Amino acid sequence: MISDSNSRGSFNQIHKFARLFLLGCLLAAVSGCASARGGAGKADGAGTLRAGAAAEPSADPRRLVFPPLDFQLPKSERVQLKSGMVVYLLQDRELPIVNLTAYLNAGSIYDPPDKVGLATIAGATLRSGGTVQTKPDQLDRELEFMASSIESDINADHANVSLSTLTRNLDRTLALFAEVVTKPGFDPARVELAKSQAVEAIRRQNDDPKSIASRELNSAIYAGHPLGRIPTLASVQAISREDLVSFHERYFYPANTILAVSGDFDREKLLARLEALFAGWPNHAASFPQVADPSEQMSAQVLHVQKEVNQSVIRMGHLGIHKNNPDLYAIKVMDYILGGGFTSRLTQEIRSNQGLAYNVDSYFVTGRRFKGPFIAETETKSETTGRAITLLRSIIAGMAQAEVSEAELKLAKDAIINSFIFGFARSDVVVNQQARLEFYQYPAGYLENFRANIARVTREDVLRVARKYLHLDAMKLVVVGDQKKFDQPLSTYGSVQEIKLEIK
Amino acid sequence: MKILMRSGILLAVWLSAATCFGQGLADKVHEHTLKNGMKLLMVPRHTSPTVAAWIRFKVGSVDERSDERGLAHLLEHMLFKGTKTLGTTNYAAEQPILDRIEATAQKLMAEKLKRDQADAKTVERLTKELNSLEKEAEKYVVKEEFADIYARNGASGYNAFTSKDGTTYIINLPANKMELWASIESDRMQNAVLREFYTEMNVVKEERRRSYDAEPEGKLWETFLADAFNAHPNGQPIIGWMSDIENLTRTKAERFLHKYYAPNNAIVAIVGDIDPQQTIALVEKYFGAIPPGEPVPPIAVEEPQQAGEKRTEVIGDAEPELMIGFHKPTLPAPDDYVFDVIDMLLTNGRTSRLYQKLVLEKQLATSVSSFSAPGSRHPNLFIVSASPRAPHTAAEVESAIYQELDRLKTEPMTKKELEQILNHLEFEESRQMVSNGGLARNLTEYEAVAGDWRYLIEHRQKVAAITPADVMRVANQYFTRENRNVGFITKKQ
């Protein structure tokens, strides 16, 4: 069976040297796990390597010189349809497939407090519930026979509906896509199924210690804010089919939609087809619930969840930054030095020198609508829990105590600037990135200026932002583990609050 | 008969489509074999000035002896620690200390293995000695120098992984940095130094706790596999049992390294913005003079035919999970293609039989999947796994799965089902080429386990030739109680 390495379920069949660090995720800017990133500057010259041009086989890799890289920031085309819907297009005829993703402003941040989970259920059932013309079973059969897929998903702050198809089935798949987006059926049986699956997910939310810790940290950082809520049995039960229909009516309209299309299509035909398919879709006035900013009142907390396991999950963090923060670039450089790769201070000390953990890292999530969190994380055996927490804290503290070395600064800047091109390695990634820049209203020139902005960061900047944005005195610490076996009581770090794992 | 004839016509149509695309991929792949046996596969693609470079060694955890369990994986970690010139300020001064570390660590291990008879004072003395020697060696270490050089040059996704079948080192580079890759990787292949060995062993123990000990699903997976194989090393965990890891030594790792991690056991795939002729010249220049090692010997032991159902229960702090595995041959055996068809019939998409029955109709489970595992070089298992939905139990899900497996034995697959499968495979042929890394992964994987990357282009034709009778025969032959392994999590009360 041919498969790529990601398609084989949740069972570990391989062991990696390292978890893929968030950096890769940031640069690819495709998974929606972080902000779109990019940069500026240009290099000229020959693209491919010149074999045999440089050193002998014993060449010292530290001193190799390379031909310049030919890289221009790829551009996609932006078109606005008559309805106001924006379409980004990037043709790529290498393979006979087409990918399309719609971005809509909708999300769980708008969920009513007694119906937390509404956006998630809407995301699941928009596609699974069929359309007004096409019953769910029929939609499933027709799509799967063509090997086409349409999927929908609603996140904290955006809705996605995406399509993937062989070129020869584009026309029909696009018609079905338009049905799903404009006239979803929310079939009652499929709605009930989605709700019962959400209930089962809640029942299972305490199975994996790592997800417990991440969830509890998020809830602590965003206490009292929609970003800190999770669905409960009652809030899911309260969601009705009518809620889903109104949800769709409220948030799904052309002026609230941006499309990103890549692959093997004919530009004129595609645009004409999109105009036709979405011609009758009515616009209406925007109406988004007001969501306040998360509280800036930051305070330290120590939270413990008892689990009888031989390894403790440690997460700590606090409210961080927004994408429009002028210190964004200095923070990215600091982030890289502190917790961003094999060479980071956290990995070198906690993993490589002391052998205390397999996974250790830290990162600022760049917030797009609201401030994102700063998070530091690791897992270590119960008996070294205190040692690892103390080390994490002291290494984070070290960032604010003295300037980083010139070598650290140069490595971080070179790594970020030189790997910038990997954000543009696929046409679907490029066109989605363009769509997201507009969707989240990034400033003009964000990608164009990115590398120059990184290049400008100094050691003084890194120290300044470490002092300004890392707050050890306001750190929320979450530990999931067996406290009988800890080397130090968690009370070392403050008054401990026990979290009882209950299914509510 | 009628069905057969009709699918015969269909077959002709599909064959031509498959052949057509297959030739497309065949034209794109450039092959070159070095005199030392290293196989180089290249696909030029100029979408962006980037390259994916994968090195696959045809040696994995199945090639370990019982006192080496976990070694291939630990060695994978150790090969990030540098060479005689990278990762060190002075190898000549460092080497004698590394040797003293090794001698001390082995003495300590031997003492600890006396268990109750171990002398506590000796253990304490040797532990202290080991710690101080490690501190001394630390002075010469240049931390993570491979990662440092790659990172500053803009490389991305630098990693490695170990499976039952092989060990793979992966990286993505800006296209102008290919010489950097050749220089570092050829040095790593010849001159690796396994420094910081006993610290890294602790990292791997943490990895084990993270993936298996503290994760109920991971624990079920490794216990289920260990129970399913009485004799074949497919059943031993890639990472090793905890006590295996604790008793590995640098000496054992070096023996394994020097025998097998050589060009004759290596497959390299380079996909991206390259010129194949220039790439061949570069690879010849850096890797051409490396002497071959020993071929990996075939595994003699065969899994005896199972004589009855085996059931594995893991009691854990988690909701129930279920997996059911049947022993089967591996690719490229003809029956393996039939299992690919069965896999897609059962669980591929919302229209698949098990999804329809378990998730939509009876709503016994929230999800169901199937796959072949744990490796592909040797006979493996066809596994169906599902997450029961409360109040339904694993037992209810299990019996519903058997009903669908029994249906496969008697009801012929329809023409339309096969057509849908072939359409899906046609799409997958393109999808797997979307990223440089995905294609490099498939080329190295199938060259290694099927013996020829062309498995990728022939797969759809082979599947197109499968008949409803084949599916019924295979279902009857393999989906039996005698051949069955059932694993499940029971929630601790």
Name the residue in chain B with its Cα closest to that of A60. Answer: B183
Helix/strand/coil for A191: helix
- Provide the phi-psi class of A122: left if phi over 0, else alpha when psi is between -120 and 50, else beta: alpha
Residues B197-219: b if buried by 16+ CB within 10 A, e if exposed: bbbbbbbbbbbbbbbbbbbbbbb
What pLDDT score was predicted for residue A311? 98
Q: Alpha carbon of A202 to those of A191, A212, B361, B390: distances in Å?
A: 17, 12, 22, 11
Closest CA to A146 of A130, A131, A164: A164
Residues B453/B331, Cβ–Cβ less than 8 Å: no
Q: How far apart are CA A223 and CA B200, in angstroms?
A: 39
Q: Is the pLDDT of residue A386 over 60?
A: yes
B128: Cβ contacts below 8 Å, ≥ 6 apart: none
* pLDDT tens-digit series, residues B285-330: 999 999 999 999 999 999 999 999 999 999 999 999 999 999 999 9
Q: How far apart are CA B201 and CA A381, in angstroms?
A: 14
Q: Note whether B249 contacts A: Cβ–Cβ < 8 A.
A: no
Restricting to B residues 56-115, those with a Cβ less than 8 Å away from any Cβ of A are: 73, 76-77, 80, 85-86
Quickly count: other Cβ atoms within 10 Å of residue B301's Cβ.
11
Q: Is the pLDDT of residue A43 over 90?
A: no
User: Residues B134-158: what's their mean pLDDT?
Assistant: 96
Q: Is the pLDDT of residue A331 over 90?
A: yes
* Model confidence band, residue A13 (pLDDT cutoffs 50, 70, 90): low
What pLDDT score was predicted for residue A27? 33
* C-beta atoms of A422 and B45 within 8 A: no
CA distance B112 to chain A (A): 20
Closest CA to B255 of B427, B75, B451: B75
Q: Is the pLDDT of residue A41 over 80?
A: no
Residues A357/B199, Cβ–Cβ less than 8 Å: no
* C-beta atoms of B49 and A421 within 8 A: yes
In this structure, the strands spanning B39-44 and B266-272 are parallel
Q: Is the pLDDT of residue A203 over 50?
A: yes
Rounded to the nearest 10°, the torsion over CA B284, B288, B293, B295 is 40
In this structure, the strands spanning A476-481 and A301-306 are parallel
> What are the residues facing A164 on neighbouring strands?
A99, A149
What pLDDT score was predicted for residue B24? 65
Half-sphere exposure of B350 (CA within 13 A, CB side): 20
What pLDDT score was predicted for residue A12? 41
Name the residue in chain B with its Cα closest to that of A18. Answer: B159
Q: Is the pLDDT of residue A52 over 70?
A: no
Q: How far apart are CA A66 and CA A52, in angstroms?
A: 12
Question: Cα-flanking dihedrals φ and ψ of residue A302, to 5°?
Answer: -125, 120
Q: Is A124 buried (19+), middle (13-18) or exposed (0-12) by CB count in 10 A?
A: buried
Q: How far apart are CA B64 and CA A339, in angstroms?
A: 35
Q: How far apart are CA A49 and CA A55, in angstroms?
A: 13
* pLDDT tens-digit series, residues B322-367: 999 999 999 999 999 999 999 999 999 999 999 999 999 999 999 9
3-state secondary structure chain B: CHHHHHHHHHHHHHHHHHHHHHHHHHHHCEEEECCCCCEEEEEECCCCCEEEEEEEECCCHHHCCHHHCCHHHHHHHHCCCCECCCCECCHHHHHHHHHHHHHHHHHHHHHHCCHHHCCHHHHHHHHHHHHHHHHHHHCCECCCHHHHHHHHCCCEEEEEEECCCCEEEEEEEEHHHHHHHHHHHHHHHHHECCCCHHHHHHHHHHHHHHHHHCCHHHHHHHHHHHHHCCCCHHHCCCCCCHHHHHCCCHHHHHHHHHHHCCHHHEEEEEEECCCHHHHHHHHHHHHCCCCCCCCCCCCCCCCCCCCCCEEEEEEECCCCCEEEEEEECCCCCHHHHHHHHHHHHHHCCCCCHHHHHHHHHCCCEEEEEEEEECCCCCCEEEEEEEEECCCCCHHHHHHHHHHHHHHHHHCCCCHHHHHHHHHHHHHHHHHCCCCHHHHHHHHHHHHHHCCCCCHHHHHHHHHHCCCHHHHHHHHHHHCCCCCEEEEEEEECC
* Model confidence band, residue A58 (pLDDT cutoffs 50, 70, 90): low
* Model confidence band, residue A349 (pLDDT cutoffs 50, 70, 90): very high
User: Residues A338-367: what's their mean pLDDT?
Assistant: 96
Residues B154/B181, Cβ–Cβ less than 8 Å: no
Helix/strand/coil for A60: coil
What pLDDT score was predicted for residue A16? 78
* C-beta atoms of A354 and B285 within 8 A: no
**What is the rounded average pLDDT for all residues in chain B?**
94
Q: How far apart are CA B447 and CA B460, in angstroms?
A: 17
Sign of CA dihedral B409, B411, B412, B415: negative
* C-beta atoms of A5 and B211 within 8 A: no
User: Residues A431-450: what's their mean pLDDT?
Assistant: 96
A14-23, A45-54, B222-231, range with greatest mean pLDDT: B222-231
Name the residue in chain B with its Cα closest to that of A262. Answer: B434
* pLDDT tens-digit series, residues B385-439: 999 999 999 999 999 999 999 999 999 999 999 999 999 999 999 998 999 999 9
Q: Is the pLDDT of residue A71 over 90?
A: yes
B339: chain A residues, CB-CB within 8 Å: 1
- Cα B388 from chain centre: 27
Q: Note whether B362 contacts A: Cβ–Cβ < 8 A.
A: no
Of B239, B372, B375, the CB nearest to A15: B239
What pLDDT score was predicted for residue B25? 83
CA distance A501 to chain B (A): 12
CA distance B2 to chain A (A): 22
Quickly count: other Cβ atoms within 10 Å of residue B485's Cβ.
21
What pLDDT score was predicted for residue A10? 39
* C-beta atoms of A425 and B50 within 8 A: yes
What pLDDT score was predicted for residue B246? 97
**What is the rounded average pLDDT for all residues in chain A?**
90
Q: How far apart are CA A397 and CA A387, in angstroms?
A: 15
How many CB pairs (< 8 A) connect A and B? Answer: 323
What pLDDT score was predicted for residue A19? 64
H or E element that contains A380: strand A373-381
CA distance A471 to chain B (A): 28
* Model confidence band, residue A22 (pLDDT cutoffs 50, 70, 90): very low
Mutation for A interface: B51, B140, B176, most A CBs within 10 A: B176
Of A1-15, A108-122, A374-388, B161-175, which range is least confident? A1-15
Q: How far apart are CA B493 and CA B485, in angstroms?
A: 25
Identify the residue whose tokens are 């119906």.
A115
Identify the residue whose tokens are 């460092």.
B94
Q: Note whether B121 contacts A: Cβ–Cβ < 8 A.
A: no
Q: Is the pLDDT of residue A302 over 70?
A: yes
What pLDDT score was predicted for residue A18? 73
Helix/strand/coil for A419: coil
Q: How far apart are CA B59 and CA B46, in angstroms?
A: 32
Residues of chain B with pLDDT > 70, as a percent, come to: 95
Half-sphere exposure of A452 (CA within 13 A, CB side): 9
Quickly count: other Cβ atoms within 10 Å of residue A296's Cβ.
7
User: Residues A292-308: what's their mean pLDDT?
Assistant: 95
